[in-house]
C-alpha cells in the first residue's frame, strides 16, 4: 500500500516538474489518461535476470492531423525493425559471451516511440509503472519467502536502464521523467547540445557526439566554398534549434551571412513546406545554398516541395546527420536532392547483423511482435491465416520473399549496438565491484541502484563494434567523428551517396574533384546585393560590412537613408515613394454610411411608436388598463424609452463638445429611467404578493401609494444622474483623435472605459434587480399577467446587454453597437410592456373593464389550529365536509408542510371574472387559540357552479352555537346600512352561522349587490328594526342590503358577537331548525348560496397548497366539542388596479 501511494506521489511530482514546459504539460496530462480511441501499445519482451528497456521508432510519427490521437504511422524498417532485431541479437551475443556478466542473463523490454514525444512519454510511464509495481511485488514476495532463504520475483522485472530514443526532442522529454527515478539512459542518435547540461540531464549519456561539433563541421564546409550568403532551415525541436543556433553563432564569427532563417515541423503539411520554399525562393538567385539542420523527414518534405514548386537544381542543400546517407529520404526525389552535401556520423558497417537479419522469416521470428506487420508492409502482401493478417493488401505472401531485395542497413546500426554494449559493460563493472568472486546477481544488486550504475557507466571504456574506442566525457558525450557524403548522379537513373571527405578534431578534409570536376561548376552564393525599394541594408552584429540583409521598412516607416528606416509620427503615413510622410484623413461616423442609416431609421420608428403609445395612454387615462399599470410609473418608462431612441442621434452626429455631454447623459440616464420605474413596480408587486401569502390580519405594506412609488423611482434616477455628473467632473467630455491602428485616425468623444462601465454598471444592477423581482412574481394569477410581461422584458434585456459587452469592448464599432443596444433595449420594453395594453385599449375594448382586473375569485378564511385538529384524529364534521374537494371520497392523508394553511388547486376557467371583496373569517374560541387554520372558500355568485351531484353539507345538532334574541345587537359601520347581526338560529353549525353572516353582509358591498343579488339595484333599503324573535314567522332570514342611493366605502369592517347557549339541543326541539337549515323554508337563492360553499379553490398567487388526491385534510376538521363565542367578519375591497 505504501508503494502504491509512492507511485501516485511520484507521478504527481512528474506532472509538476515537467509542467514547466507548456507543451509537455499537455502531453503528460494526455498520457495520464489514454484517449479512448488510442490503440493499445505493443511491446516486445525477452525475460532475463536483468531487464534493459529500449525505445525505438518502430512506426513513423503521427500525421499532423492525428497528433492529438497519438496514432502512429506506417512501420519503419531501418529506424524501427532493424534496431529492434539489432538489440535482440546483440543481447543474444552478450548472453553467449562468458566474459560479460557471467551466469547473468540480460533481457529486454522494447517499446515503440513513434518518433513522437507524447507516445514516448506514454511508454516511459509504462516503464516506470512496471518498475514501481515490481518493487512492491518484490517486497511482498520477499516477506513471504524470507524463511525459505530465497527470493522469487513475480511478474515483469523493472528496467535498470534505457536505450534510446533516437530523436533529441523526444530524448529530452523522456529524460525529464527517468531521472526522477534514477534510471540511466544511453542514446544512440540524440545529438542535441542541450543534453550535455548535466545540471538538467544527470542520467543521460550518448555514444554520439554533441551537435556543437557537427555545427562546426557544417560551417567549415560552407566556408570552404566561399558561400557567404546562405539560407538556414532547421527542424522544430531541440535537435534542430540547438544545432542551428550553434551554426549561426559560428557563421557570424566567420563573416558568413544568413539570408533567411526559418523552422518547420518534420510532419508539417504540404502547404507549410510550400510556404517555406516560397520564402527561400525570394532570396534567389543570391542565396542558393541552404544549410539544413534537419531531421530526415524534414529534408524529404523540402524535396517534395521543390518538385511542386519546380525548383529542381535551384538550391544546394547542406544537411546534418539527420539526413546523412539515408535512402528513405531521397527515395523518388533523387533529382531534387542531387548535389546535396551531408554530414554523417562515422559508423562502421556491421556485417554480422546482415547474416542474422537477412535470414529472418515471419513464421520463425516470434519474439518480434511487429515483424509480421513489417513483412506485409515490406512486400505489399498479406499473411493468410496469421493472427496479424492485414486486409489492406490483396496479394498473398508466397514465403519466397527475401529481405535481401532492396536492402540497406541502418546507418546508425553501430551506435545502437555500442549503446547496448555500453549498458552491458557498465553492469559488468558494477557486478565485479559489488559482487567480487560471485557469479550472478548478489544481494547487493537486488535491486540495482541506478545512481551506482550511473557511476560505472560514466567510467565505461571499451572497443566499439567498428573498432573505435567508446568512452564518455564529463558531460556524458562521446568524441565526434564525421564523414562527408555527396549525393550525386552516377549513371542513368542511378544516384548514390559518395564519400567525399571527413571531419574530426583535426579539421575538414575534402575531395573537391569528387564533387565538381572543375571550379567553374561550383555554384555561387554570396551577399552584398543591392536592396530593393523600401528596403534598407541591415548589417548583423559581428558580420562584415560587405554582407548585409535587405530588410523592408515597416508599413509606417519611410527610408531615411540606405541603412535606416524612420517611423512617421502618429496620424501620418509614408508617401508612395517612401521618401517622407503625409497626414492620414480623419474618419468619423457619417450620416450616409449604411450602419448609421439603419440605426437612425430604427430609432425614428421607435420614437414614433413611443409617441403613439403615449398618446393612447393619455387618451385612455381613466380606463382600468391604464390604472392597473401604475400609470405614473408607465410615463417614466415611456420617457426613458423616448430618451433612449434620441441617444442614437447624439451618438451618430459628428463629435462636438455638446454632443459629447448629451451622449454621457443619454446613455446612462435613459435606461436608468426605464429600469428604475420597473424596479419600483416589480418590487411593489412582489411585496403585495408576499403579504397575501401571510395571514389576513397583517398591516398594510409601506410605501405602496402612487406618490411613494414616484419618489422611489426618482431617487433611483437621481442616483444615476449623480454618477453621471461625478464622471463629467472627473473626466470632462472632449473631442479627441483616436488611433485604432497606426493607419487610422478617428474623431471621437473621450468616452473612457470608466465612463461606460460606471453608468452601465448601475443600470446593470437595476436590470438584475428588476429581473429578480420579475422572476419572483412570475407565477402570479392570470389577472396580473403584466408581471410576466415584465419578466420577459428583463430576460430579453439581459441577453441584449450580455451580448453588448463583448461586442463593444472587442471591436471598433463601439458607436454603432451602443446605438443598437440602447434602441433594442427600449424596443423590447415598449413591445413587451405596452403593446399588449394598447392592443386591449384599441382592439379589445370589452376587456378594458374593471371586472377583468380583479385580484381573485376566491375568499380566504382562517379557522382553528391545523396541528391540533390533526392530532385529534377524530372524524370530520360537517364543517370539514365543506372543505372537501368535489367528487372526492378519499380521506386526505397529508398535511401542508407549514402546518397552518391548506388549499385546493382547481381550474378557475369556468368562473366568470367578478369584482369580489376579499373576505377573512376569524372564529375565536373561548380557549386561547394558538394559530389560525386557513382555508379558501369560493364566494357566492349569481349562478351555481356546483355540480348537481354534490350534496349539501350535513348539519349536525352537536356543538351548535346560537345567540338568544335578547342578545341581538345592532352594529353600524360608516355609511353602510345597518342590519341585525344577532339572530335566533336554530340547529345550525358554526359554518352555517358563517354562511348566514356572509349572506347578509355581502349586502354591504355595493359591487356584490349588482352581481350577486337579482335586481339588486331596485331593492329598497331594509328597515333597521330587529327581526322577530321566532324564526318560524318568516320562511327565510331577510336580506340586508345597502341602499343604492348611498356610496359604500372601499373597505368595510364588520364585527358580530355570538354567545353560546348550553344544552340547546336538550331544551329546544330541532325539527324546524333542521328543516330550516336543510332548505325546507329556504328560497332558491339560499340553496344556490349554500352550494357555492362547496366550491373551494385557492387563489393562484398562493403557493402554500398541497397537490392532494384525497378529501379535505383532517387539519380542517375542528374538534366536535369546540364551542365558539365570537365571530369576527372582515371584508376588503382590493383589485389588481391597486398593484
* 511 Cα distance to chain centroid: 64
Ranges assigned E (strand) in 879-933: 918-925
pLDDT in tens, 495-510: 999 999 999 888 899 9
Question: Residue 1002 above 60 pLDDT?
Answer: no
Residue 182's closest CA among 164, 153, 203, 163?
A: 203
Q: Residue 162: its pLDDT value, please? A: 96
Q: Residue 692: its pLDDT value, please? A: 64
Residue 184's closest CA among 429, 490, 376?
A: 429
Same domain, residue pair 759 and 883: no
CA dihedral 446, 450, 451, 452 (to 10 degrees): 50
- pLDDT, mean over the chain: 73
* 844 Cα distance to chain centroid: 48
Same domain, residue pair 771 and 881: no
Q: What's the average model confidence in pLDDT over 517-528?
A: 80
**HSE on the CB side for 863, CA within 13 Å?**
27
Q: Is residue 952 part of a domain?
A: yes
Q: What's the average model confidence in pLDDT over 623-649?
A: 87
- Gyration radius from the chain CA atoms: 49
Same domain, residue pair 665 and 717: yes
Residue 1089's closest CA among 1010, 1018, 1017, 992?
A: 992
What is d(CA 969, CA 759) in angstroms, rounded to the nearest whole number? 65
Confidence grade of residue 1054 (pLDDT, cut at 50, 70, 90): very low
Confidence grade of residue 715 (pLDDT, cut at 50, 70, 90): very high
pTM of the model: 0.47
What is d(CA 1035, CA 1084) in angstroms, rounded to the nearest whole number? 12
The more confident residue out of 496 and 1017 is: 496
Q: Residue 748: its pLDDT value, please? A: 86
Residue 116's closest CA among 82, 176, 167, 74?
A: 167
Q: Is residue 25 part of a domain?
A: no
Same domain, residue pair 836 and 924: no
Question: Residue 266 above 60 pLDDT?
Answer: yes
The CATH number assigned to the domain holding 123 equals 3.40.50.2300
What is d(CA 570, CA 743) in angstroms, rounded to the nearest whole number? 9
Domain that holds residue 645: 594-852
Q: Residue 576: its pLDDT value, please? A: 86
Q: Residue 780: its pLDDT value, please? A: 64
Same domain, residue pair 930 and 990: yes
Highest averaged pLDDT of the listed ranges 138-142, 414-418, 543-547, 674-678: 414-418
Instruction: State which H helix or E strand residue 598 sits in.
Output: helix 594-619
Confidence grade of residue 995 (pLDDT, cut at 50, 70, 90): low
The more confident residue out of 89 and 1017 is: 89
- The cell numbers describing 522, all together, are 561550383
Burial track 540-553 (b if 16+ CB lie within 10 A, e otherwise): eeebbeebbbbeeb
Same domain, residue pair 242 and 133: no
CA dihedral 647, 648, 651, 656 (to 10 degrees): -70
- The cell numbers describing 846, all together, are 370589452
Q: Is 1128 left (phi over 0), alpha (psi -120 to 50) or beta?
A: beta
Same domain, residue pair 546 and 675: no
Confidence grade of residue 37 (pLDDT, cut at 50, 70, 90): very low
Last residue of a domain, one of 830, 852, 874: 852
Same domain, residue pair 224 and 338: yes
Same domain, residue pair 841 and 936: no
Last residue of a domain, one of 831, 852, 873: 852
Q: Residue 317: its pLDDT value, please? A: 94
- The CB density around residue 956, as the number of other CB atoms within 10 Å, is 18
**Cβ(1082)–Cβ(841) below 8 Å:** no
715, with CB counted inside 10 A (0-12, 13-18, 19+), is exposed
Give the range among 94-108, 712-726, 785-799 with minimum mean pLDDT.
785-799
Same domain, residue pair 167 and 221: no
pLDDT in tens, 153-205: 345 789 999 998 988 889 999 999 999 999 999 999 888 888 999 999 999 99
What is d(CA 248, CA 260) in angstroms, rounded to the nearest whole number? 11
**Cβ(830)–Cβ(641) below 8 Å:** yes
Q: What's the average model confidence in pLDDT over 670-683?
A: 86
Q: What's the average model confidence in pLDDT over 395-402?
A: 88
What is d(CA 106, CA 47) in angstroms, rounded to the nearest whole number? 8
Same domain, residue pair 899 and 765: no
The more confident residue out of 938 and 170 is: 170
pLDDT in tens, 890-909: 333 334 333 333 333 334 34
Residue 218's closest CA among 191, 236, 237?
A: 191
Number of domains in the chain: 5
pLDDT in tens, 94-144: 999 999 999 999 999 999 999 888 899 999 999 888 767 655 555 555 444
pLDDT in tens, 1076-1113: 333 333 344 444 444 333 333 333 333 333 333 333 33
- The secondary structure of 311-341, three-state, reads CCCCCEEEECCCCCCCHHHHCCCHHHHCCCE
The more confident residue out of 570 and 975 is: 570
Q: Is residue 34 part of a domain?
A: no
Confidence grade of residue 1023 (pLDDT, cut at 50, 70, 90): very low
CA dihedral 992, 997, 1003, 1005 (to 10 degrees): -110
Same domain, residue pair 847 and 863: no
The more confident residue out of 266 and 1026 is: 266
Q: Is residue 307 part of a domain?
A: yes
Last residue of a domain, one of 823, 852, 881: 852
Instruction: Say which residue the cell 355570538 belongs to.
Output: 1058
Q: What's the average model confidence in pLDDT over 27-39?
A: 38
Across-strand partners of 1054? 1129
Amino acid at each position: 500500500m505504501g508503494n502504491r501511494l509512492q507511485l501516485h506521489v511520484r507521478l504527481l511530482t512528474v506532472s509538476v516538474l515537467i509542467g514547466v514546459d507548456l507543451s509537455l504539460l499537455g502531453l503528460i496530462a494526455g498520457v495520464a489518461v489514454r484517449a479512448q480511441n488510442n490503440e493499445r501499445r505493443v511491446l516486445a519482451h525477452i525475460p532475463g535476470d536483468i531487464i534493459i528497456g529500449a525505445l525505438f521508432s518502430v512506426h513513423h510519427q503521427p500525421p499532423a492531423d492525428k497528433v492529438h490521437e497519438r496514432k502512429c504511422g506506417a512501420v519503419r524498417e531501418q529506424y524501427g525493425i532493424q534496431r529492434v532485431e539489432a538489440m535482440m541479437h546483440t543481447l543474444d551475443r552478450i548472453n553467449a559471451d562468458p566474459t560479460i556478466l557471467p551466469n547473468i542473463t540480460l533481457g529486454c523490454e522494447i517499446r515503440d516511440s513513434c518518433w513522437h514525444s507524447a507516445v514516448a512519454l506514454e511508454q516511459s510511464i509504462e516503464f516506470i509503472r512496471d518498475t514501481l509495481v515490481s518493487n512492491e511485488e518484490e517486497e511482498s514476495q520477499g516477506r513471504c519467502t524470507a524463511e525459505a532463504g530465497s527470493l522469487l520475483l513475480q511478474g515483469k522485472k523493472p528496467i535498470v536502464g534505457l536505450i534510446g530514443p533516437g530523436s533529441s526532442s523526444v530524448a529530452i522529454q523522456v529524460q525529464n521523467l527517468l531521472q526522477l527515478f534514477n534510471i540511466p539512459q544511453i542514446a544512440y542518435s540524440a545529438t542535441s547540445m542541450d543534453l550535455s547540461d548535466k545540471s538538467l540531464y544527470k542520467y543521460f549519456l550518448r555514444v554520439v557526439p554533441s551537435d556543437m561539433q557537427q555545427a562546426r563541421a557544417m560551417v567549415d564546409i560552407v566556408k570552404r566554398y566561399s558561400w557567404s550568403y546562405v539560407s538556414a532551415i532547421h527542424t522544430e525541436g531541440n535537435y534542430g534549434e540547438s544545432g542551428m543556433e550553434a551554426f549561426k553563432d559560428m557563421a557570424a564569427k566567420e563573416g558568413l551571412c544568413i539570408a533567411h532563417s526559418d523552422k518547420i515541423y518534420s510532419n508539417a503539411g504540404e502547404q507549410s513546406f510550400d510556404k517555406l520554399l516560397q520564402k527561400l525562393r525570394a532570396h534567389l538567385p543570391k542565396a542558393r545554398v541552404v544549410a539544413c539542420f534537419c531531421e530526415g523527414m524534414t529534408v524529404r518534405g523540402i524535396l517534395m516541395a521543390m518538385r511542386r514548386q519546380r525548383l529542381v537544381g535551384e538550391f544546394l542543400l547542406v544537411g546534418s546527420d539527420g539526413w546523412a546517407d539515408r535512402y528513405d529520404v531521397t527515395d523518388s526525389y533523387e533529382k531534387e536532392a542531387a548535389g546535396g552535401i551531408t554530414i554523417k556520423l562515422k559508423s562502421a558497417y556491421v556485417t554480422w547483423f546482415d547474416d542474422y537479419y537477412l535470414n529472418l522469416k515471419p513464421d520463425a521470428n516470434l519474439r518480434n511482435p511487429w515483424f509480421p506487420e513489417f513483412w506485409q508492409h515490406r512486400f505489399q502482401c498479406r499473411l493468410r491465416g496469421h493472427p496479424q493478417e492485414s486486409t489492406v493488401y490483396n496479394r498473398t505472401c508466397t514465403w519466397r520473399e527475401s529481405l535481401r531485395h532492396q536492402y540497406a542497413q541502418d546507418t546508425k546500426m553501430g551506435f545502437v549496438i555500442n549503446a547496448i554494449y555500453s549498458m552491458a559493460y557498465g553492469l559488468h563493472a558494477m557486478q565485479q565491484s559489488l559482487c567480487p568472486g560471485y557469479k550472478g546477481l548478489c544481494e547487493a544488486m537486488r535491486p540495482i541502484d541506478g545512481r551506482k550504475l550511473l557511476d560505472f557507466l560514466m567510467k565505461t571504456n571499451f572497443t566499439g563494434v567498428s573498432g573505435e574506442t567508446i568512452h564518455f566525457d564529463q558531460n556524458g558525450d562521446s568524441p565526434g567523428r564525421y564523414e562527408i557524403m555527396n549525393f550525386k548522379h552516377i549513371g542513368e537513373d542511378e544516384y548514390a551517396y559518395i564519400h567525399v571527405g571527413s571531419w574530426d578534431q583535426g579539421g575538414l578534409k575534402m575531395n573537391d574533384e569528387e564533387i565538381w570536376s572543375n571550379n567553374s561548376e561550383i555554384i555561387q552564393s554570396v551577399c552584398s546585393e543591392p536592396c530593393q525599394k523600401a528596403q534598407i541594408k541591415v548589417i548583423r552584429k559581428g558580420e562584415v560590412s560587405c554582407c548585409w540583409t535587405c530588410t523592408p521598412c515597416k508599413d509606417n516607416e519611410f527610408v531615411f537613408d540606405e541603412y535606416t528606416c524612420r517611423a512617421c509620427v502618429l496620424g501620418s503615413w509614408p508617401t508612395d515613394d517612401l521618401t517622407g510622410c503625409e497626414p492620414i484623413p480623419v474618419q468619423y461616423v457619417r450620416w450616409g454610411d449604411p450602419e448609421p442609416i439603419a440605426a437612425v431609421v430604427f430609432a425614428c420608428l421607435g420614437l414614433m411608436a413611443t409617441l403613439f403609445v403615449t398618446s393612447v395612454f393619455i387618451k385612455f387615462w381613466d380606463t382600468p388598463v391604464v390604472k392597473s399599470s401604475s400609470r405614473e410609473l408607465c410615463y417614466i418608462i415611456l420617457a426613458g424609452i423616448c430618451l433612449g431612441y434620441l441617444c442614437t442621434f447624439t451618438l451618430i452626429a459628428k463629435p462636438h463638445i455638446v454632443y459629447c455631454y448629451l451622449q454621457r447623459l443619454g446613455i446612462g440616464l435613459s435606461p436608468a429611467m426605464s429600469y428604475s420605474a420597473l424596479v419600483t413596480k416589480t418590487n411593489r408587486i412582489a411585496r403585495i404578493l408576499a403579504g397575501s401569502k401571510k395571514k389576513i390580519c397583517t398591516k398594510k405594506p409601506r410605501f405602496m401609494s402612487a406618490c411613494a412609488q414616484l419618489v422611489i423611482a426618482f431617487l433611483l434616477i437621481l442616483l444615476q444622474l449623480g454618477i453621471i455628473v461625478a464622471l463629467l467632473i472627473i473626466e470632462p467630455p472632449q473631442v479627441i483623435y483616436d488611433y485604432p491602428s497606426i493607419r487610422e485616425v478617428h474623431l471621437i468623444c473621450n468616452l473612457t472605459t470608466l465612463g461606460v462601465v460606471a453608468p452601465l454598471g448601475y443600470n446593470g444592477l437595476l436590470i438584475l434587480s428588476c429581473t429578480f423581482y420579475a422572476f419572483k412574481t412570475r407565477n402570479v394569477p392570470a389577472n396580473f399577467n403584466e408581471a410576466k410581461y415584465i419578466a420577459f422584458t428583463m430576460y430579453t434585456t439581459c441577453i441584449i446587454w450580455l451580448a453588448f459587452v463583448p461586442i463593444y469592448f472587442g471591436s471598433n464599432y463601439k458607436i454603432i453597437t451602443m446605438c443598437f443596444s440602447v434602441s433594442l433595449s427600449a424596443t423590447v420594453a415598449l413591445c413587451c410592456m405596452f403593446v399588449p395594453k394598447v392592443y386591449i385599449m384599441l382592439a379589445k375594448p370589452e376587456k378594458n373593464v374593471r371586472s377583468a382586473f380583479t385580484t381573485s375569485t376566491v375568499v380566504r378564511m382562517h379557522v382553528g389550529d391545523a396541528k391540533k385538529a390533526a392530532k385529534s384524529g377524530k372524524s370530520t364534521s360537517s364543517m370539514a365536509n365543506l372543505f372537501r374537494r368535489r367528487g372526492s371520497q378519499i380521506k386526505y392523508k397529508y398535511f401542508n408542510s407549514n402546518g397552518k394553511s391548506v388549499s385546493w388547486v382547481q381550474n378557475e376557467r369556468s368562473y366568470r371574472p367578478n369584482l369580489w371583496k376579499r373576505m377573512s373569517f376569524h372564529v375565536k374560541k373561548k380557549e386561547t387559540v394558538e394559530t389560525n387554520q386557513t382555508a379558501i372558500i369560493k364566494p357566492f355568485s349569481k349562478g351555481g357552479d356546483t355540480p348537481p351531484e354534490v350534496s349539501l353539507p350535513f348539519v349536525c345538532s352537536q356543538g351548535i352555537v346560537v345567540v338568544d334574541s335578547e342578545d341581538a345587537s345592532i352594529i353600524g359601520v360608516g355609511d353602510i346600512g345597518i342590519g341585525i347581526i344577532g339572530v335566533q338560529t336554530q340547529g345550525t353549525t358554526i359554518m352555517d352561522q358563517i354562511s348566514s353572516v356572509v349572506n347578509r353582509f355581502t349586502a354591504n358591498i355595493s359591487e356584490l349587490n349588482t352581481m350577486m343579488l337579482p335586481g339588486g339595484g331596485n331593492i329598497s333599503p331594509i328597515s333597521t328594526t330587529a327581526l322577530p324573535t321566532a324564526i318560524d314567522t318568516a320562511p327565510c332570514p331577510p336580506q340586508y342590503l345597502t341602499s343604492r342611493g348611498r356610496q359604500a366605502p372601499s373597505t368595510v369592517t364588520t364585527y358580530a358577537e355570538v354567545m353560546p347557549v348550553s344544552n340547546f339541543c336538550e331544551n329546544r326541539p330541532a325539527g324546524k331548525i333542521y328543516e330550516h337549515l336543510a332548505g325546507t323554508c329556504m328560497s332558491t337563492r339560499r340553496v344556490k348560496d349554500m352550494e357555492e360553499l362547496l366550491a373551494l379553490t385557492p387563489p393562484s398567487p398562493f403557493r402554500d397548497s398541497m397537490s392532494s388526491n384525497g378529501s379535505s385534510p383532517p387539519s380542517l376538521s375542528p374538534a366536535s366539542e369546540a364551542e365558539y363565542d365570537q365571530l369576527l367578519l372582515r371584508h376588503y375591497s382590493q383589485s389588481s388596479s391597486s398593484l
